[in-house]
Amino acid sequence: MRTQHKIIFGSSQRMTELADSSVHLMVTSPPYPMIEMWDSLFAKMDLSIAELWRKLEAERREENVTQIYEHMHGNLAEVWREAHRVLVDGGIACINIGDTVRTVNGSFRLFANHSKIIEHCERIGFTTLPYILWKKPTTKPKYNGKGAFLGSGFLPPNAYVTLDCEFILLFRKGKLRRFQPHDQRRYDSAFEKSERDEWFSQIWTLTGARQTESQLERRIAAFPEELANRLVRMFSVKGDTVLDPFLGSGTTAIAAMRNERNSIGYEVDESLLPLITKKLVLGQQKVSLRHEK
């Protein structure tokens, strides 16, 4: 099946190119709020966040930190609202997100990003479905926010549990998706019993980093192709359109392409174009590139 893959360079906070109810599935991973590597992007995308960091420097108040965190999620929620608009009735939204711990302004805090996203998505009108925990093998145990246990031994009570799982949150717009009786696309898209048993269980153990992963893919925290592959096959049928509003290196688009789905990706960082096009192997499929400034 010939499929189409569109990349739009611009912010997904306004997906004006997409009509209401025109997308069947969203698979995505946003920048994670309160993880240092994304601080500058959030501040660049929203000057009020940059201003709040300055306010924190000047005032050193705990509520400044909370305001920054809330603003970051407010920004992401604009994308979730747009996703709700463009999804068809019964369309599924899959959001990969990690919680984080951080000492800001001298205080240690857990930033439970997954719960903030659930809160926002439910307010927007999504139904929350049972989610997946992606267990990552790489994270080292931490001791009181100061790095690995090292020589600090086995003494209670100041160590904390390692955040070695990320969430794959699942939401549905409206009621179950409807198909005509005996719609062949569903049968052609069926998964195997072994796939079903593994994919629909709550804990996934996938290697976070693939052997071939490049420096750039690590910098933007690309998720493994297998993760996108499973979600595309679990929640869409051949010929559907899959959206990734935070495209990064294009992992969702390649999973869609490999599984005979169309894709649309939004990305603000134009320097990722060579990496995305390399992944999509331009020329093998019809790829239309559109730049939005």
Ligand X SMILES: C[S@@+](CC[C@H](N)C(=O)[O-])C[C@H]1O[C@@H](n2cnc3c(N)ncnc32)[C@H](O)[C@@H]1O
Which residues in this chain contact ligand X in the complex, by CB under 6 A? 11-13, 29-31, 41, 45, 220-223, 245-246, 248-249, 251, 266-269
Q: Please give the angle made by the CA atoms of 247, 74 and 174, to the nearest 5 degrees.
A: 70
CB 95 within 8 A of CB 83: no
Among candidate residues 224, 209, 225, 220, the one with its CA nearest the CA of residue 271:
220
Q: How far is the CB of 36 from ligand X (least distance, A)?
A: 14
**Residues β-bridged to residue 77:** none
The nearer residue to ligand X, 7 or 177, going by C-beta atoms, is 7
The nearer residue to ligand X, 79 or 177, going by C-beta atoms, is 79
Residues in the chain: 293
Q: How far is the CB of 219 from ligand X (least distance, A)?
A: 9
Estimate the crossing angle of helix 251-258 against helix 273-280, to 10 degrees. 10
Q: How far is the CB of 3 from ligand X (least distance, A)?
A: 19
Q: How far is the CB of 287 from ligand X (least distance, A)?
A: 16
The nearer residue to ligand X, 118 or 231, going by C-beta atoms, is 231
The nearer residue to ligand X, 22 or 105, going by C-beta atoms, is 22
Q: How far is the CB of 27 from ligand X (least distance, A)?
A: 8
The nearer residue to ligand X, 56 or 227, going by C-beta atoms, is 227
Q: How far is the CB of 92 from ligand X (least distance, A)?
A: 17
The nearer residue to ligand X, 11 or 100, going by C-beta atoms, is 11
| Cβ neighbour number for residue 190 with a 10 Å cutoff | 10
Q: Give 253's Cβ-side CA count (13 Å radius).
A: 30
Q: Starting at the edge strand that comes first in sequence, how are the strands of the sheet with 4-9 ordered?
A: 203-205, 127-135, 165-172, 87-97, 23-28, 241-244, 262-267, 4-9, 286-291
